[in-house]
Amino acid sequence: MDLWLRLILAVWLAVISFVDLRTRRIPNALVLPPLAAALLWRLARGEWVVLLLCAGLYLAWSAGLLGGAGDAKLLMALAVLFPRLEYALVLALVVLAVALPWSLIRCRGRFGELPRRLRPSDEQLEREGVPFAWVFSLGTLVYVWITSL
């Protein structure tokens, strides 16, 4: 990936992360146009498997495995941009490396409640949201910069 594309990606992910951290929401206007453009680009190249990827991510979101709708749409956009197993592996490792300590810090002093507290309740998600776009952005940037070496 060219340097200018990596920089555009970094700026886009930084904006999404900043908005998510401040508002606990990821606006459709920031995610859907890149998702649609990337999806059309992949389909024009005959890469129909991205439709299965999006369907799988949608099902995971609807089962409550991916957090809020903004997170799910961001993950769909990133998966369409980088539909490789290596990307999924790097993203999973970064998410685990960040989310596990973050969850433990959030539960400090309440280890008896730990299994119940790792995932916020639906009411808490609705009321507070969980700003997680920055973790997905970090994992994506790690992948992009590693693969460009």
Dihedral sign from CA coordinates of 103, 106, 107, 109: positive
**Per-residue pLDDT reduced to its tens digit, 59-112:** 887 787 766 788 888 999 999 999 999 999 999 999 999 977 876 676 665 555
pLDDT in tens, 9-63: 999 999 999 999 999 889 999 999 999 999 999 999 999 888 888 888 888 877 8
Q: Tokens 């119940």 map to which residue?
A: 116
The total of structural domains in the chain comes to 1
Predicted pLDDT of residue 77: 93
pLDDT of residue 109: 55
| pLDDT given for residue 58 in this prediction | 82
**Distance (Å, whole) CA 35 – CA 26:** 13
Which residue range(s) make up the domain with 87? 3-147
Measured CA to CA, the distance from residue 44 to residue 95 in angstroms comes to: 31
Which pTM was predicted? 0.80
Give residue 55's pLDDT.
Answer: 86
- Rounded CA-CA distance 66/113 in Å is 22
